[in-house]
Homo-oligomer: A and B are copies of this chain.
Amino acid sequence: MEFLVRIQIALPDGMDDERRAALAAAEVERAAELRAEGTIQRIWRVPGRTANIGVWVAEDASALHAKLTSLPLSRWMDIEVEPLALHPAEGGDA
């Protein structure tokens, strides 16, 4: 099943640059894994924001939750999930 996932990241202002860099590197690595395994199907940046919009694929909402919380920055993310249904134009029922 596909989900539209909107993620806004807000690191606390007091976090030092070293920790920011380490977390960012870990985040990039984990995101790459999720893309490689097909969980993140597409992902875009929201222009001007530390935010992204993605199409995620997971068995169900529980599996999706496990994937989302595996992101190293998840503690600082505000995440909104919308379930997506198949459209008739892509083979869903009319």
CB of A53 to closest CB in B, whole Å: 6
Interface residues of A, Cβ cutoff 8 Å to B: 1-5, 7, 12-14, 28, 31-32, 35, 40, 42-49, 52-53, 55, 60-62, 64-66, 68-69, 74, 77-90, 92-93
In the complex, A84→B87 CA distance in Å? 21
Given the known inter-chain contacts A28-B88, A44-B85, A44-B87, please indicate yes or no for A60 contacting B93, CB distance below 8 A: no
In the complex, A78→B51 CA distance in Å? 11
Are A87 and B43 in touch, CB under 8 angstroms? yes
What residues of B have a CB within 8 angstroms of the CB of A31 in the complex? Answer: 89
Are A83 and B85 in touch, CB under 8 angstroms? no
